[in-house]
Amino acid sequence: MSVQARIEEKLRALDSSYLTVENESHMHSVPANSETHFKVTLVSSRFEGLMPVKRHQQIYAALAEELSGPVHALALHLYTPDEWVARGNARPDSPNCLGGGR
């Protein structure tokens, strides 16, 4: 199973109303077909009343195995359903990679 598929499977357990996991490794100085850099957008009512750091901690706990191994970078965009609607159902774009000596 790919790293991306494992991430998706684990995060589906968080009862999300919206979930995307994007492999952004190709935007960085890594070998072709790498699975090291990901962006997660997750909308869940379980984030109600939680500060961003607490939301992130839930994701870090769920993905502890991936974060201790193959995943080098993980961008998290975590919203409650009301926050997601207020944003127009859109997450921010990722910035261009600034490192890696390209």
| CA gap 96, 87 in Å, rounded | 22
- Length of the chain in terms of residues written: 102
Model confidence over 41-71: pLDDT tens digits? 999 999 999 999 999 999 999 999 999 988 8
Q: Output the pTM of the full model.
A: 0.85
CATH number at residue 46: 3.30.300.90
Which class for 4: exposed (0-12), middle (13-18), buried (19 or more C-beta within 10 A)? middle
Q: Which residue has the tokens 């790498």?
A: 34
29 pLDDT exceeds 90?
no
Residue 96 resides in a domain: no
What is the extent of the structural domain holding 16?
A: 3-86
| Total domains in the fold of the chain | 1
